[in-house]
Amino acid sequence: MSEDDRRVVVDGVSKLYDRDDGGVQALEDVEFAVDDGEFVCVVGPSGCGKTTLFRIIGGLESATSGQVRLSGAPVTEPSPDLGIVFQEYHLFPWRTVRGNVAFGLEQQAIDAEAREERVDAMLDLVGLEAFDEAYPTELSGGMKQRVGIARALAVDPEILLMDEPFGSVDAQTRSMLHEELLSVWEETGKTVLFVTHDVDEAVTLADRIVVMGAGPGHVQEIVDVDLDRPRDRTDGAFAENVEYVRGLISE
Ligand code: ADP
Ligand code: MG
């Protein structure tokens, strides 16, 4: 397979933030690739450049050198191939759940009936059918993030890009959202790129884990998670994977 057949290629990406105090080298020569349909987690300590990398892949920030390619095409701006789910929910407070999920579809030339059908299907996928007329302030954190996922998927992107999406929900809700996300992934065959600082979360979700180190942000190692799904956190092999990745991070 040639490099450009791969869904996402991060090719020698470096990022220097210019600042009055001299600047911050956030990323140095970050390199990895993701195949179609893969679930890849990027994990690393706070400040190692995960959000910076996420923003560069999403076309929201430019690299100082190197580039990101999606199916061979260099990223220069936000692409419709990419559905983005942020750490903070970024929902429109003046729109209902339905209105939020419909947002991306309204930018496209499809008729209202097809749009509503699509919104219904997405609400069904994330279990929010009964909340379609609710406003974001009426929802729990977990529900808001489900809306974020439904909105990102509504336009049928090839890739779902997520930055610590479940960071602000309690542990029980988070583990429900993990199950839901995995079932959406299995159902839709999307490529998922998921950023987290939580090693447990990465081992729960990923086919492969890109482990980053700080100072400046770089790829430390790429770890295959060779565990059957659904995964059992109480399993010895699960704990071994977690321990191995934690060891890499604290090196
Ligand atoms: P992470 O998401 O892994 O916590 P970030 O990508 O947010 O890491 O940050 C990486 C480094 O870049 C940090 O040192 C941070 O202070 C710096 N940084 C992030 N965003 C900016 C910015 N807009 N301007 C200047 N420095 C930034
Ligand atoms: Mg971050």
pLDDT at 171 over 80: yes
Tell me, in angstroms, the distance from the centre of ligand 2 to residue 53's CA.
9
**pLDDT digits over 38-76, tens only?**
999 999 999 999 999 999 999 999 999 999 999 999 999
Separation between Cα atoms, residue 36 and residue 48, nearest integer Å:
26
Looking at the CA of 23, which ligand is closest? 1
Query: What is the residue with the minimal CA distance to atom 24 of ligand 1?
Result: 17
**pLDDT digits over 129-144, tens only?**
999 999 999 999 999 9
Separation between Cα atoms, residue 129 and residue 6, nearest integer Å:
35
pLDDT of residue 27: 98
pLDDT of residue 181: 92
pLDDT of residue 251: 77
Tell me, in angstroms, the distance from the centre of ligand 2 to residue 164's CA.
7
**pLDDT digits over 137-165, tens only?**
999 999 999 999 999 999 989 999 999 99
**pLDDT digits over 237-247, tens only?**
999 999 999 99
Q: CB–CB of 74/241 below 8 Å? A: no
User: What CA–CA distances, in Å, run from 222 to 44, 109, 124, 191?
Assistant: 12, 41, 35, 17
- Map out the domains of the chain with their CATH numbers: 3-81+158-250 (3.40.50.300), 92-156 (no CATH)
Instruction: Kindly give the number of the ligand 1 atom that is closest to the alpha carbon of 217.
Output: 10
Strand partners, 151: none
pLDDT of residue 192: 97
Query: What is the residue with the minimal CA distance to atom 13 of ligand 1?
Result: 47
Reported confidence tier of residue 196, pLDDT bands at 50, 70, 90: very high
pLDDT of residue 125: 86
Please state the rounded mean pLDDT for residues 207-232.
96
Average pLDDT, the chain: 94
pLDDT of residue 107: 87
Q: What are φ and ψ of residue 208, in 5° steps?
A: -140, 150
Tell me, in angstroms, the distance from the centre of ligand 1 to residue 135's CA.
32
Separation between Cα atoms, residue 181 and residue 126, nearest integer Å:
8
pLDDT at 22 over 70: yes
Measured from CB, residues less than 6 Å from any atom of ligand 1 are: 17, 19, 24, 26, 44, 46-52
Selected residue with higher pLDDT from 168 and 178: 178
Query: What is the residue with the minimal CA distance to atom 25 of ligand 1?
Result: 17
Pick from 43, 52, 53 the residue to mutate for probing ligand 1's pocket: most ligand atoms within 8 Å of its CB. 52
**pLDDT digits over 30-39, tens only?**
999 999 999 9
**pLDDT digits over 68-99, tens only?**
999 999 999 999 899 999 888 889 999 999 99
In 3D, which of 3, 5, 8 has the Cα closest to residue 190? 8
Looking at the CA of 165, which ligand is closest? 2
Tell me, in angstroms, the distance from the centre of ligand 1 to residue 18's CA.
11
Separation between Cα atoms, residue 136 and residue 189, nearest integer Å:
28
Q: Where are the beta strands (DSSP E) in 72-180?
A: 73-74, 82-85, 159-163
Residue 94 is encoded by which pair of tokens?
């003046």
pLDDT at 21 over 90: no
Task: Kindly calculate the radius of gyration of the chain based on its CA atoms and give it in whole angstroms.
Answer: 18
pTM of the model: 0.94
Looking at the CA of 46, which ligand is closest? 1
Please state the rounded mean pLDDT for residues 19-29.
91
Q: CB–CB of 85/160 below 8 Å? A: yes
Separation between Cα atoms, residue 138 and residue 140, nearest integer Å:
7
Instruction: Kindly give the number of the ligand 1 atom that is closest to the alpha carbon of 53.
Output: 6
pLDDT of residue 1: 61
